[in-house]
Copies of this chain bind each other. A is one copy, B any other.
Amino acid sequence: MSLLVQKFGGTSVGSVERIEAVADKLAKFHAEGHQLVVVLSAMSGETNRLIGLAKQIQDHPTPRELDVLVATGEQVTIALLAMALHKRGIDARSYTGAQVRILTDSAFNKARIEQIDSEPMMADLKAGRIVVVAGFQGVDEQGNITTLGRGGSDTTGVALAAALKADECQIYTDVDGVYTTDPRVVPEARRLDRITFEEMLEMASLGSKVLQIRSVEFAGKYNVPLRVLSSFVDGPGTLISLEDDSAMEKPVISGIAFTRDEAKLTIRGVPDTPGVASRILGPVSEANIEVDVIVQNIGADQTTDLTFTVQKAEMQKAADVLERVAGELGASQVLKDDKVAKVSIVGVGMRSHAGVAAKMFAALAAHNINIQLITTSEIKISVVIEEKFMELAVRGLHEAFELDKTDALASH
């Protein structure tokens, strides 16, 4: 018997029929003796409908009132699910964020959870009830309704699991787990049984939009085992947890992430003096442009080249800033390129294995793919390549690291 926090997203509760299906699933777990706290999103489309009403009135709706408005979305689904459980003879009780006292700061629309009082929920669980909680919302010290920002229901789930010391926080989605890479690009992509919090963060930030990054960070911080499962297909999903030291051998890399959302900018022939990087990137940051990869190389003649990537939509804005900076610094040239893609291999195993980078570069070379940029971190190696080679690179790397193999112990 476990205490489980189970979170169902908007698609999973998108209609009365789907809510009934969730109730069936919960009835099964309940019959098996598990203690259940269920976190729900609003019905899919409902939050957007409510925001649409608000925007008919104000282009930028008052944040406090927007939270009052959109918090109704989850309040509807928790009541309906509680009814569906009652219909099945299961005692259940619904709670809004305010009722279960998910105390947050007062940053309307993007509040952060500060404290949760777990006692009333524990009392319900002990009485045999399923506790149904509205995700995405809370209440501040003054009693104002707050929301955690979009997708925040995952965070509610993790926070409740931490407060209740749950055995697992299970996130039900429309995919059946985390994959070695996107199966639309690599048909051989394989569902991972386990992945670490760190790996998941690297995968998530690179485009595997399975979970909210914030909820993964939160789960890692409080060491809440997180499991991604499908609402629609039975299966074990993927467990996201601390590194499993008990495993004798770990796969060197767990997955391949990629994105074609970025563009590359280079400023060439900058006189190489101390502080030159900040004099280039300072104005970019002041223009509110987010920078991802940054690479600096020493060039010829006491000059240096600096390259970085930004979101494609911001390339021209960044180029304008660079042109101005280039004039001030006496740089020779500004180059921009939005026909690029970034491909990364991620895995905690690479910490202890030499030769991973070499193997990656060899795999790309075998397909005649030229590497434009390289950056590395403890558990990730990223390359920027020409966009048209992206799928080829991902497939080649997936094969080279034998990610389609169940025990994925390549390069041993």
Contacts and interface: CB of A to CB of B under 8 A. Distances in A.
Interface stretch (A49-57, A302-310, A370-378): A49-57
A371 B145 CA distance: 60
Contacts of A143: 99
Count copies of this chain in the complex: 2
A131 B111 CA distance: 24
Nearest to A78: B68
The 10 closest A-B pairs by CB, nearest first: A69-B79, A72-B72, A68-B79, A65-B79, A16-B56, A65-B82, A57-B83, A72-B75, A62-B86, A58-B83
A64 interface: yes
A181 interface: no
Nearest to A17: B56
Interface string A326-363: 00000000000000000000000000000000000000
B19 A57 contact: yes
Contact of A53 (B62, B76, B82): B76
A80 interface: yes
A76 B73 CA distance: 10
Contacts of A145: 96, 99
A66 interface: yes
Interface in A69-92: 69, 71-72, 75-76, 78-80, 82-84, 86-87
Given A62-B86, A86-B62, A54 B79 contact: yes
A61 interface: yes
A20 interface: yes
A64 B61 CA distance: 31
Contacts of A98: 98
Given A68-B78, A76-B50, A20 B57 contact: yes
A94 B64 CA distance: 9
Contacts of A34: none
A93 interface: yes
Secondary structure at chain A's binding surface: helix, strand, loop or mixed?
Answer: helix
Contacts of A20: 57
* Residue among A16, A68, A93, A96 facing the most chain B CB atoms (10 A cut-off): A68
A69 B65 contact: no
Contacts of A93: 64
Interface in A87-118: 87, 93-94, 96, 98-99
Interface in A127-173: 143-145
A68 B94 contact: yes
A16 B53 CA distance: 7
Scoring A57, A71, A86 by chain B CB atoms within 10 A of each residue's CB, the highest score goes to: A57
A18 to B, nearest CB: 12
Contacts of A69: 75-76, 79-80
Contacts of A58: 83-84, 86-87
A127 to B, nearest CB: 14
Contact of A86 (B50, B53, B65, B80): B65
